[in-house]
């Protein structure tokens, strides 16, 4: 049954590829089909479906489904975490930002990276010791299950859906250009593959797809960076000199520019990036796939190293693209206006691949970019499905006895539901400006998920009322401030001036959430509040020592 469904997916993949070939003759809006890219992509899809088939046979219990049985090693998990973080938005977006603005791209990379040491020191081991499948296991450890689980699930689902929209729209556009597929077909293809990986292979398949993609991406970007540096005799100064000669902003690309113009925006961006990372459900979930706190720790060490290395490469690639893509003879990579890149400015990394490695390497990088999107949306979908099945269904709403089998079935149905939702949103948002969704996802993660998680681990006097009211205040203020801010209020709704002048309102919403959690906890004099406080010591001992924690691997 399973193998039949999987082969059906593969067949669908080939049919789509053929259809793309047929498009060529018809001369539709899609670009010319890139044959090496399609071949390499099909090899990737075949390989990952093979892994899914293998993983499906090993995935029997709920624990297997959510956490790959807890048997992933620290190094593997660290690579998968790095893979989750090196999304298409990072690879194409940050390289594109360096290409367009120079130094400002590096500021973003640094903000994305510095959250990791904080996760290591404050969150990762604690999460591993206290939780089971989702971060709500930690926030609901001693608080009342139902309201806390619902809050965590809403925060998770909001972040997952927003992130998925950004990835789907990006994927559709990218695939349209690289493979010559229609936008809708591309979005449906991504959605179908991600449902297959997650519903059949669970966390085991999702993790291995992510690891393979992370390795491919690191190999590809390392090669590109070496080729760029080789052009300049491995001298950064020579690269920068040439880039400033070619770029229209000239020497300004070497210093901080307009990206963070005022102190409030600068600090706010820092808060959103730093604490947002510690509230992303698909990242937090990965800490449950390892056996113990020691492996959780190792995961972050490996992930930080790989992500940091990758960001240094994106910086080199961005400058490389200025010289080799923007400065290419006859402007072969430029659109008709002679300024923007073919496709979009986010394509800098892709055209750089062509400039340094020709058609075959372009094919390789295109396939890797597609693989990146697939792997990241799978991780997101799994996190969203877990929030629905484990938090909402099994621990908040189900009455009577729930068995694992039922919970897993709900999870698989949720996977299909989230997949279909992502496809529909992806198509609906095709022509929309989606820049705000990533800002919103990070702001919600930093304002709703992170404060509750942090306080539940460290603050004895936290009560259910404090956590729930504080969490919702964080969630709602993040939502309202982003809507009233420049990205939605002016760019999308077309108003003249934004009511809130900041793109990332985390500087307001995060402290607001913390203050509300504090205030509504200390004023809570109910019996339940006293119970929450009394149970902290036992929680803290398990948090500190791991005694009694879930996830010791069964041998």
Least distance to other proteins, CB of residue 477, Å: 22
Q: Report how far apart, in Å, the C-alpha atoms of 377 and of each of 89, 374, 478 are.
A: 12, 5, 23
Choice between 12 and 254, CB closer to other proteins: 254
Name the residue nearer to other proteins (CB basis): 45 or 253: 253
Residue bearing tokens 């006097």: 461
- The alpha carbon of residue 122 and the mean position of all alpha carbons in its chain are separated, in whole angstroms, by 21
Could you please report the per-residue DSSP string of 156-220?
A: HHHHHHHHHHHHHHHHHHHHHHHH---HHHHHHHHHHHHHHHHHHHHHHHHHHHHHHHHHHHHHH
Q: Count the residues in the chain.
A: 555
User: Smallest distance, Å, CB 309 to other proteins?
Assistant: 8
Residue 472 in tokens? 């919702």
SS (H, E, C) 304-348: HHHHHHHHHHHHHHHHHHHHHHHCCHHHCCECCCCCCECCCHHHH
The contacts of residue 403 (CB under 8 Å, 6+ apart) are none
Q: Least Å distance between CB 100 and other proteins?
A: 17
Cβ–Cβ under 8 Å, residues 486 and 505? no
- Shortest approach of other proteins to residue 102 CB, angstroms? 10
**What's the rounded Cα separation, in Å, for the pair 545 and 550?**
12
Interface positions with other proteins (CB under 8 A): 103, 106-107, 109-111, 113-114, 116-118, 120-122, 125, 236-237, 240-241, 244, 251, 254-257, 260, 262-263, 266-267, 269-270, 274, 294, 297-298, 300-301, 304-305, 308, 311-312, 315, 537-538, 541-542, 544-548
Q: At closest approach, how far in Å is the CB of 443 from other proteins?
A: 17
Q: Reduce the DSSP state of residue 290 to 3 states and report it.
A: strand
Rg (CA), the chain: 23
Q: Shortest distance, CB of residue 131 to other proteins, whole angstroms?
A: 17
For helices 506-522 and 435-444, give the axis angle rounded to 10 degrees.
Answer: 30
Q: How far is the CB of 109 from other proteins (least distance, A)?
A: 7
**Least distance from other proteins to the Cβ atom of residue 480, Å:** 25
Residue 36 vs 511, nearer CB to other proteins: 511
Q: Is the CB of 7 or the CB of 261 nearer to other proteins? A: 261
| Residue closest to 289 by CA, chosen among 395, 131, 403, 409 | 131
Q: 3-state secondary structure string, 56-102?
A: HHHCCCHHHHHHHHHCECHHHHHHHHHHHHCCHHHHHHHHHHHHHHC
Q: How far is the CB of 308 from other proteins (least distance, A)?
A: 4
State in angstroms the smallest separation of the CB of 118 from other proteins: 6
């Amino acid at each position: 049954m399973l193998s039949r469904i999987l082969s059906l997916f593969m067949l669908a993949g080939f049919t789509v590829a053929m259809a793309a070939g047929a498009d060529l003759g018809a001369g539709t809006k899609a670009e010319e089909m890139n044959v090496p890219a399609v071949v390499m992509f099909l090899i990737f899809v075949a390989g990952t479906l093979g892994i899914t088939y293998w993983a499906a046979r090993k995935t029997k219990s709920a624990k297997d489904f959510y956490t790959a049985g807890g048997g992933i090693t620290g190094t593997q998990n660290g690579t998968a975490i790095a893979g989750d973080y090196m999304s298409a938005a990072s690879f194409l977006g940050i390289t594109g930002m360096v290409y367009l603005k120079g130094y400002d791209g590096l500021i973003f990379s640094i903000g994305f990276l510095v959250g990791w040491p904080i996760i290591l020191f404050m969150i990762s081991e604690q999460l591993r010791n206290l939780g089971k499948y989702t971060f709500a296991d930690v926030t609901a450890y001693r608080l009342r299950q139902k309201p806390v689980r619902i809050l965590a699930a809403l925060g998770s689902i909001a972040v997952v859906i927003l992130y998925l929209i950004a990835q789907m729209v990006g994927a559709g556009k990218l695939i349209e250009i690289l493979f010559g597929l229609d936008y809708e077909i591309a979005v449906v293809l991504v959605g179908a593959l991600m449902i297959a990986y997650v519903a059949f292979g669970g966390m085991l398949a999702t993790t291995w797809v992510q690891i393979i993609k992370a390795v491919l991406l690191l190999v590809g970007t390392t090669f590109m960076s070496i080729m760029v540096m080789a052009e300049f005799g491995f001298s950064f100064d020579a690269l920068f000199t040439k880039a400033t000669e070619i770029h229209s902003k000239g020497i300004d690309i070497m210093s901080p520019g307009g990206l963070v113009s005022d102190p409030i925006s600068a600090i706010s961006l820092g808060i959103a990036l730093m604490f947002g990372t510690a509230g992303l459900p698909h990242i937090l979930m990965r800490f449950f796939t390892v056996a113990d706190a020691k492996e959780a720790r190792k995961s972050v060490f490996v992930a930080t190293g790989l992500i940091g290395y990758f960001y240094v490469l994106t910086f080199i690639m961005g400058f490389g693209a200025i010289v080799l893509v923007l400065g290419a003879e006859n402007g072969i990579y430029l659109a008709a206006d002679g300024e923007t890149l073919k496709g979009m400015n986010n394509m800098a990394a892709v055209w750089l691949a062509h400039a340094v490695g020709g058609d075959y390497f372009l094919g390789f990088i295109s396939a890797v970019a597609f693989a990146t999107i697939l792997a990241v949306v799978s991780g997101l979908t799994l996190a969203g499905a877990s929030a629905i099945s484990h938090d909402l269904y099994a621990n908040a709403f189900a009455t009577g006895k729930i068995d694992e089998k039922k919970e897993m079935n709900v999870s698989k149905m949720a996977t299909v539901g989230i997949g279909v939702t992502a496809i529909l949103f992806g198509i609906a948002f095709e022509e929309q400006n989606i820049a705000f969704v990533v800002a919103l996802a990070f702001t919600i993660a930093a304002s709703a998920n992170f404060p509750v998680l942090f306080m539940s681990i460290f603050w004895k006097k936290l009560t259910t009322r404090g956590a729930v009211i504080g969490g919702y205040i964080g969630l709602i203020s993040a939502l309202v401030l982003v809507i009233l801010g420049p990205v939605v209020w002016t760019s999308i709704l077309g108003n003249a001036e934004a009511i809130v002048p900041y793109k990332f309102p985390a500087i307001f919403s995060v402290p607001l959430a913390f203050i509300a959690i504090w205030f509504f906890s200390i004023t809570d004099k109910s019996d339940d509040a006293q119970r929450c406080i009394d149970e902290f010591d036992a929680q803290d001992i398990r948090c500190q020592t791991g005694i009694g924690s879930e996830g010791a691997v069964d041998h």
